[in-house]
Amino acid sequence: MIVDLPDTTTADVNKKLMSLRDEGGVVALGRVLTLVVLASEGSEEEAIEAANAASREHPCRIIVHVPVDAAEAVDDADRMDAQIRVGGDAGAAEVVVLRCSGVLADPDEPLLAALLLPDAPIVAWWPRRAPVNAAASSIGAIAHRRITDTGNAADPLAALGRIGQTYTAGDTDLAWTRLTNWRLQLAAAVDEFLADGGDVSTVDAIRVEGAEDSPSTMLLAGWLSLRFGVEAAVSDQPPGLGIGLVEIRTASGSVMLSRPDTAIATLSMPGQADQHIALPKRTLQECLAEELRRLDPDEVFGEVVTEGLPLCRREQAA
């Protein structure tokens, strides 16, 4: 069900939600959190689709704020047009889309307060353009978790650097979440290497190859640098390719995980035949669902962006 409320207020939207619940029971109780999506115009449907999919694992209220371009605003007015989506149009969530112009185009806590679920955690998500300091923004200041996506920034690596400078417990980024399977595979490979008599205390070099515009490449290099206490060399590859190779070099041989395409990786270790591993790129829905599973600070991410990134050395591709 989709209900449109043109030129409205958040108080009226909240009343309509309560009315829908009372009249037909279409808005179920039992939401575990409020997900506030600070979207950019034109990209909101992709974010809503991902949030709806994630809500099947984490029932929630989804509030989507979309600033309307000044050229499209009605009479340059301070206006809010709302849309409520429930039932089959909202997954396991209730979705409220707010298209705002004028002063309302700048989202803040007083604007959205009437729609926040009482006594429920708040997660703020910026699918594209994020503030310089998410935790210092009005919505970020009241959120338990703040999710950004530096991969969608105009300058991904500069955006990642700003997170390192402004990091506050509760911050995370989907460029980090996209690394989960890489980190799991590398951790398992190192454990197997140790079980076969390898010695990771003798790691003398770490090499990571990845796209020059990939913040995930830098985060993986930072994580490895912290893990082994060795400066990681990052080799830039053409944009858009993601991570291509990781090599952990030791006195007794190298552990190497390479992904020449976007789905299958090859794991090479001393004294063993190469193994082929499924390592596809993760979808937006998968990454968002993973982030919603935890509402406590991701301490490892905090250490990587503040301490690990400075340990990496970038090299130009030959």
44 vs 67: CA distance, rounded Å:
10
CB of 150 within 8 A of CB of 160?
Answer: yes
Residue 72: the pLDDT is 58
Given a cut of 80, is residue 89 above it in pLDDT? no
- The distance in angstroms from the start CA to the end CA of the chain is 56
The domain spans of the chain are 2-148, 180-286+298-315
Greater confidence (194 vs 156) lies with 156
Tens-digit pLDDT profile for residues 213-262? 899 999 999 999 999 999 999 998 888 778 999 999 998 889 999 998 77
CA distance 92 to 59: 5
Higher pLDDT, 201 or 152: 152
CA distance 98 to 13: 10
Cβ within 8 Å of residue 317, ≥6 positions away: 212, 235, 236, 237, 238
* Rounded Cα gap, residues 58 and 71, in angstroms: 37
**pLDDT per position as a tens digit, 17-48:** 888 877 755 445 567 899 999 999 988 999 99
187-227 residue pLDDT tens? 999 998 888 887 778 899 999 999 888 999 999 999 999 99
Give 246's strand partners: 208, 257
**Residue 70: what pLDDT?**
64
Taking the CA of residue 210 as centre, how many other CA atoms within 13 Å lie in the half-sphere pointing to its CB? 25
Q: What is the rounded distance in angstroms from the CA atom of residue 315 to the CA atom of residue 318?
A: 9
From the number of C-beta atoms within 10 Å of its C-beta (0-12, 13-18, 19+), residue 110 rates as: exposed
What is the pTM (predicted TM-score) of this model? 0.92
Task: Provide CB contacts within 8 A for 316, sequence distance 6+.
Answer: 235, 236
- Predicted local distance difference test score (pLDDT) of residue 27: 47
Calculate what percentage of the chain has a pLDDT beyond 70: 93
CB burial of residue 260 (10 Å; 0-12, 13-18, 19+): exposed
Picking from 72-76, 118-122, 294-298, which range would have the lowest pLDDT averaged per residue? 72-76
**Who wins on pLDDT, 313 or 75?**
313
